[in-house]
Amino acid sequence: MKQLIDKLQTALSGIYEGHELTAIIRTICCDMLGIGTATYYLKEAVTLTSEQESLLRGIIDRLQQGEPLQYIEGKAPFCGMEFAVNSSVLIPRPETAELVDWIVCEHATQQPRILDLGTGSGCIAIALSKQLPQATIEACDISAEALTVAKENARMNEAPVSFFTHDMLDLGTPLPHSYDILVSNPPYIRQSEAADMSIQVTEWEPHTALFVPDNDALRFYRAIAELGQTEALRPGGHIYVEINQALGKETVALFEAYGYQDVELRKDIYGNERMIGVRS
């Protein structure tokens, strides 16, 4: 076992380090190669089959090219559930789970109709469906490929979410219902910020779900704010969005300029200004 771990550390140390490298090695050994956790932690001797050797070579090669482990494995955890992921959707992240928690805490005793705009893997909508079973949850995305993944995730997690195709920047096409809550984790990373990001993100995750032009970085929040002033959001309804940590004040100012009330900017567990909630 020690030989295998050493081999992986040598092969991947230039790409990952510290706790992340340790977690990746454990996932490869236990989840992907099928080595028992006791064998792994006790460092017992193992002999890989030819099939395991071949699988291992493929995993290492793909990781060395920068492909995220979640795409190689085809799944990622979120809010205590497992989600299928591929390069059509963003990999769910812990910060987004905090947005889900905020909505659940504020609406646990209600029966809201909720729309997740730009759902991607469906992680927000599905997590809300499981934690707010009394709610009616819908989700939309412009990408047919993303919706295929989201629908599969809803099936796997037995979540009654309704999905439909919609471009959130298209304010001329009416939505099927009026909603109590609009939630979104829209594209918000400025093109100029890509240079500071890892290749695991910039070379593999879908750019349409990540990036916005530097000269119009709040375009999706403007569209959401305008949507909330139509029949899409019921009077007194709420909007919750994940945001660019560098644009917290600007995003707050945008919603305030549109006349929203109780505009609240919250930090994530890492201390970054990460999400905003407002009331119409």
Whether 131 shows a pLDDT value over 90: the answer reads yes
Cα–Cα distance, 151 to 165 (Å, whole number):
12
- Residue at token pair 């193992």: 46
pTM of the prediction? 0.94
| Residue-wise DSSP of 115-158 | EEES-TTSHHHHHHHHH-TTSEEEEEES-HHHHHHHHHHHHHTT
pLDDT digits (tens, 9 = 90+) for 26-55: 999 999 999 999 999 989 988 999 999 999
Report d(CA 232, CA 245) in Å as an integer: 27
The owner of tokens 């920068």 is: 66
pLDDT at 232: 97
Residue type, 124: I
Beta-bridge partner residues of 242: 275
Read off the pLDDT of residues 248-258 as tens digits, 9 standing for 90 and up: 999 999 999 99
pLDDT of residue 51: 95
The predicted-structure confidence for 187-246, as pLDDT tens digits, reads as follows 999 999 998 888 899 899 999 999 999 999 999 999 999 999 999 999 999 999 999 999
The mean pLDDT value for 111-117 works out to 98
Q: Indicate the pLDDT class of residue 99, thresholds 50, 70 and 90.
A: very high
Spatial separation of the C-alpha atoms in residues 182 and 230, rounded to whole Å: 12
Neighbours of 270 (CB within 10 A): 10
Of all residues in the chain, what percent carry a pLDDT higher than 90? 94
Q: Are 35 and 55 in contact (CB under 8 A)?
A: no
Nearest to 184 by CA among 104, 253, 99: 99
Whether pLDDT at 14 is above 90 = no
Q: What is the mean pLDDT of residues 64-70?
A: 95
Contact call for residues 112 and 125 (beta carbons, < 8 A) = no
User: Which residue did the predictor score with more confidence, 81 or 17?
Assistant: 81
* Mean pLDDT, the chain, whole residue set: 95
Q: Domain residues of the chain, as ranges? A: 2-65, 76-279
Q: For residue 42, what pLDDT is reported?
A: 86
Tell me: pLDDT of 2 over 90. Answer: no
Rounded Cα–Cα distance for residues 110 and 154 (Å): 22
Our separate counts of H helices and E strands in the chain read 11, 11
CB 243 within 8 A of CB 185: no
Residue 164 is encoded by which pair of tokens? 């439909």
CB-count burial class (<10 Å; 0-12, 13-18, 19+) for 239: buried
pLDDT band at 69 (very low <50, low <70, confident <90, very high): very high
- Give the tens place of pLDDT for each residue, 159-188: 999 999 999 999 999 999 999 999 999 999
User: Packing angle between helix 123-131 and helix 94-107, nearest 10 degrees?
Assistant: 40
Q: Which CATH architecture has domain 76-279?
A: 3-Layer(aba) Sandwich (3.40)
Pure H helices in the chain: 2-12, 18-26, 37-42, 50-64, 69-73, 94-107, 123-131, 144-156, 199-202, 219-227, 248-257
